[in-house]
A and B are shown apart, each in its own frame.
Chain A
Amino acid sequence: MKLKKILNIRISERVSFIILLVLLAVLISLPFFTPGQYFLRTATNIGIYAILALSLNITTGYCGQVSMGQAAFMAVGAYTFAILNTMHGVGFFPAAFVGCCVAGVAGFILGMPTLRLSGAYFVIATTGFSEVVKVIALNWKSMTNGALGIKNIGRPIVFGFELTNANGGQYYIMLLSLAAVIWISYAIKTSKFGRALNAIRNDELASNLMGVNTSSQKVLAFVISAMLAGYAGVLYASMTRYIEPNTFTTDMSTIILCIVIFGGMGSIRGMIIGALLLISFPEILRFMATYRFIVYGLILILMMRFRPQGMLGGVGDKPYKLPKGVKRKSYEQGGGVNGVT
């Protein structure tokens, strides 16, 4: 597979930096040379799924807790945003912010009691939660308009200028959001919080006995995960301009899980490349479109069987990045393991 080739090449730091710059240039100028709106919309969609994968990555990738609840948090964020925006005239940014917060609260309410349970119970709880959110969206007609859904959802307005798909504005909002979420993921990963989540994934009991408050760390990770998914829901609603109780399906949660597993749990690059490949393939390989869900399911099965760490996941071989100012004695480059004194 071509991808394997990319993985096995040891690129020097300089070259990878240049590649990154080129990529960035392409991404930023994309709206100017795309063949029509559809392409841009797909790119925005891919970006939203990348954000969703990064959000799930915090709970599932870093902390090892499989969750099928991202679609539900999307729904909570999207509905809150849509209600505030269309029924109460609140602008995009404040409504989006509230949407995130409400999604976070939902994450807290769900996470507090269920995170101390073992993996399978937790998955069931998140799946059930998805069902409940759908039921509430259907039945709380006064709030959510029931099965009719909410339409004419507003788009971001910056300095009086409405950002739409046509003028590329929504694409840039997505790009900026993605950059922010990438930063958040990276910041968590390289901090004591990220280390703690990793440790919990490895051995929760031992983590506890080293003083880590595993419950609070797991809940915090879950809440952040929910907030990011809620934000993705806002972006999604703003892009499609219409949501109804069946918009945010279990299918979505499954696809997001698939991206995380395929890309590699814990790997930020994996989330992005995974989203790119898995969301675009039904567009590129048109004949596969009806079968795409089967492909997603197969990916989950095959990955677990043959490459559980995903394409880009697993333990890296770069040395640990020490903070500035830390002193070491007699550090040898590439020291081998030849027994220890």
Chain B
Amino acid sequence: MALLEVSALSKNFGGLIAVDAVGFEVYEGEIVSLIGPNGAGKTTIFNLLTGVYKANKGHIVFDGKEITNKSTQDIVKAGIARTFQNLRLFKDMRVIENVLIGNHIHTKYRLFDLLFRTRRFRSAEALSAQRAIDILESIGLGDHIDDYADSMPYGVQRKLEIARAMATDAKLLLLDEPAAGMNASETKELLDFIKLQQKNGYTILLIEHDMNLVMNISDRVYVLDYGKLIASGTPEEIANDPRVVEAYLGKEEDDDEDA
């Protein structure tokens, strides 16, 4: 049984059909990529998966439970976390604080505890902080926990956003164009980083435009165009699929004038 099962998922905004009866699976431990031209509906699917948008039709089943149209908080609790196309770190907060927010739902104490600094408060905070430190050290940011999020280099910020998502204890990570704006060496680093997280047990669903990254990292690829799923398979199968080429480059013109 797949970790994530999406069937007949549809979303329209007024007359505009953004996602049209899309269905796909992601199995535990896989890295699956979602590709397609701009405007194909990929981020919309992420928004549907995380409860930002409500689906018009279709079902999303995660870890055996139906999560279609559940609240964002419930979805995060169930084990899905994401990053954003345009980096949404908490700029005025430190690196460690950003990651601590990821762990918010697992830091368990009440208002009473924090006002009176009970044992429950102290142990929950220590646990949460340790987890954040561990995550940050594992991605090489152990010396930068006090730095402010927006003072880090771009590539590091991307990693930080992923670390923050990891802190939610997610089973499935949704990464929205994590390589955007990166040069070749940064992308290579990112590739190794994502592969490492796969080894660590995370399942990853990825939106990307960088074909190099997609081909090198994915176990399977789904291709979207105009809101519809037009192809799926291994990276090699996709690369050779004429429909995919057409979607990106347009139809080949037939020259049949001048008989």
Chain A residues with a Cβ under 8 A of chain B = 183-184, 187-188, 191-193, 195-196, 198-199, 201-203, 205-213, 220, 315, 319-320, 322-332, 335, 337, 339-341
- Our count of residue pairs bridging A and B at CB distance below 8 angstroms stands at 131
User: Assuming A195-B100, A328-B137, is B168 touching A211 (CB within 8 A)?
Assistant: yes
Whether the Cβ atoms of B72 and A327 lie closer than 8 Å is: no
Give the chain B neighbours of A198 by CB distance below 8 A.
Answer: 90, 92-93, 97
Q: Judge whether B129 and A322 touch: CB under 8 Å.
A: yes
Which residue, B105, B115, B141, has most C-beta atoms of chain A within 10 A?
B115
Task: Confirm or deny: B35 has a beta carbon within 8 angstroms of a beta carbon on chain A.
Answer: no
- Asked, given contacts A195-B93, A205-B88, whether A325 binds B107 with beta carbons under 8 Å apart, the answer is no
Residue of B nearest to A341 (CB): B140
Q: List 20 A-B contacts (CB under 8 A).
A: A187-B115, A192-B107, A198-B92, A198-B97, A199-B93, A203-B88, A205-B88, A208-B73, A209-B52, A209-B72, A209-B76, A209-B82, A210-B102, A212-B73, A220-B111, A328-B137, A337-B144, A340-B141, A340-B153, A340-B156
Q: Name the CB-closest residue of B to A183.
A: B115
Given contacts A187-B114, A209-B82, A327-B130, contact A192 B104 (CB under 8 A): yes
Closest residue of chain A to B146 (Cβ to Cβ) is A319
Query: Does B199 lie at the interface of the complex (its beta carbon under 8 Å from any beta carbon of A)?
Result: no
* A324 to B140 CA separation, bound complex (whole angstroms): 22
For the complex, is B28 an interface residue (Cβ under 8 Å from A)? Answer: no
The listed residue with most B CB atoms (<10 A of its CB), out of A188, A211, A323, is: A211
Contact A191 B121 (CB under 8 A): yes
Q: What is the distance, in angstroms, from A326's C-beta to the closest C-beta of chain B?
A: 5
Do A210 and B143 form a contact, CB below 8 Å, given A192-B128, A202-B91, A203-B88?
Answer: no
Most B C-beta atoms less than 10 A away, residue of A183, A209, A213:
A209
Q: How far is the CA of A246 from the CA of B20 in the complex (A)?
A: 60
Task: Please state if A206 and B90 are interface contacts (CB–CB under 8 Å).
Answer: yes
- Docked-complex contact B77 and A211, CB < 8 angstroms: yes
Residue tally, chain B, CB below 8 Å to A: 56
Q: How far does the alpha carbon of A331 sit from the alpha carbon of B136 in the complex, in Å?
A: 13
What secondary structure prevails in chain A residues at the interface with B? loop
User: A191 is contacted by which of B91, B96, B114, B143 (Cβ under 8 Å)?
Assistant: B114
A320-B145, A326-B126, A329-B142 as given contacts; A210 in contact with B151, CB under 8 Å: no
Interface residues of B in 179-209 (CB under 8 A from A): none
Q: Do A195 and B104 touch (CB < 8 A)?
A: yes
- Nearest A residue (CB) for B141: A340
Measured in the bound complex, the distance between the Cα atoms of B124 and A193 in whole Å is: 13
Give complex CA distance A324, B125 in Å: 9
Q: When A188-B114, A326-B133, A329-B137 are in contact, do A202 and B90 touch as well, CB less than 8 Å?
A: yes
Supposing A326-B129, A340-B141 touch, asked if A203 and B90 sit within 8 A by C-beta, the answer is yes
CA distance A329 to B164 in the complex (A): 20
Question: Does any Cβ of A come within 8 Å of B251's Cβ?
Answer: no
In this complex, what residue of A is CB-closest to B108? A192
Q: Is B126's CB under 8 angstroms from A192's CB?
A: no
**Bound Cα distance from A212 to B167, whole angstroms:** 13
| Measured CA separation A193–B101 after assembly (Å) | 10
Q: Which of A187, A192, A205, A207 has the most CB of B within 10 A?
A: A192
Known: A191-B114, A209-B72, A212-B104. A323 touches B90 (CB 8 A): no
Check if B126 sits within 8 Å of A337, measured CB to CB. Answer: no
- A187, A192, A208, A332: the one contacting B100 at CB < 8 Å is A192
4 A-B pairs closest in CB distance: A211-B76, A191-B114, A211-B105, A206-B88
Given A187-B115, A315-B148, A206-B91 contact (CB < 8 Å)? no
Closest CB in chain B relative to A63 CB, distance in Å: 13
Q: Collect the chain B residues with CB atoms within 8 Å of residue A212's CB.
A: 73, 101, 104-105
**Residues of chain B within 8 A of A327, CB atoms compared:** 130, 133
> How many angstroms from the CA of A42 to the CA of B78 in the assembled complex?
55
Q: How far is the CB of A231 from chain B (nearest CB, A)?
A: 15
Cβ A191 vs Cβ B125 within 8 A: yes
Q: Smallest distance from the beta carbon of A212 to chain B beta carbons, Å?
A: 5
B168 to chain A: which residues have CB within 8 Å? 210-211
Contact call A323/B126, Cβ cutoff below 8 A = yes
Q: Are A324 and B93 in contact (CB under 8 A)?
A: no
Given contacts A187-B114, A195-B104, A202-B91, contact A208 B129 (CB under 8 A): no
| Contact A326 to B130, CB < 8 A, known contacts A188-B114, A193-B114 | yes
B101 contact set on A, CB distance < 8 A: 195-196, 199, 207, 210, 212
Q: Which of B5-60 contact A (CB under 8 A)?
A: 50, 52
Check B122–A213 contact: CB distance below 8 A.
no
What chain B residues lie within 8 Å of A220 (beta carbons)? 111
Task: Give min CB distance, B92 to chain A, whole Å.
Answer: 6
In the complex, which residues of chain A have a beta carbon less than 8 angstroms from the beta carbon of B237? none
Separation of A211 and B92 alpha carbons in the complex (Å):
19
A320-B94 contact given A207-B101, A210-B102, A340-B141, CB 8 Å threshold: yes
Residues of A within 8 Å of B96, CB to CB, are 320
Q: In the complex, what residues of A have CB within 8 A of residue B226's CB?
A: none
From the candidates B81, B125, B130, B153, name the one contacting A210 in the complex (CB within 8 A). Answer: B81
Nearest-CB residue, chain A, relative to B126: A323
